[in-house]
Structure 1
């Protein structure tokens, strides 16, 4: 069984930042069961699923914990990654505040992702920002959720 550190190393050693919208394609499907079996807080597991482009499994955890600012942040982020921009902004409104993000900047980021999506383009700066955001979210949950 893989440890949390091994999974984090594997996920964050990707050669390029993940797509803004991975669709239904999970980055490393073989990690899905390993992530689910970790003896970690549910938000760590959800953040790792999100970093693995596994929107579905992250969504199950976020949805079951609505009302918690971290769960709502995960929910907002996953909907942005789904391309469900209106719903992402809805969930950002429910986050209230969170130590990892400015809500107004997060909503602006959603708008920027939506604009690039409409042109069917690819913006490496947006993908890099998203990757930095996902790394910070995993790190924050590992440090603060027990």
Structure 2
């Protein structure tokens, strides 16, 4: 799947089949389905990318202290740009253009 295909899939009712757990969580996060995305992020706390997503989700909900904790777990600085920009950056790290 390419970045464009992933972005186009955001209008579908269901997540595309065969996504990695991270991409599935990102798909839900992109549709503001916070709880579904958060459940997946929480189930994969051993992975820095899931921790980055976890940080993003807590920043999205306005829990900046918790977000800072997860950015540290992901070995990243707190993102200073917009939420949509950060989400797109995460997606781009997982898919070819």
TM normalised by structure 1 equals 0.56
In structure 2, the partner of 1:137 is 90
- Paired residue for 2:44? 65
Larger radius of gyration: 1
1:47 Cα deviation after fit: 0.8
Tell me, yes or no, if structure 1 residue 104 matches structure 2 residue 77.
yes
Distance 1:105 1:85 in 2: 9
Output the CA distance in 1 between the equivalents of 2:27 and 2:70: 19
Whether the aligned pair in 1 keeps the contact of 2:68 and 2:78 (CA below 8 Å) is no
Deviation at 1:41, TM superposition (A): 0.7
Measured in 2, the distance between the counterparts of 1:104 and 1:43 equals 20
RMSD: 2.2
Residue correspondences, number? 93
Name the stretch that deviates more: 80-89 or 131-140: 131-140
The answer for the alignment partner of 2:63 in structure 1 is 84
- Unaligned runs of 5+ residues in structure 2 are none
**Unaligned stretches of 5+ residues in structure 1:** 12-27, 97-102, 110-125
Give the TM-score, by structure 2 length: 0.81
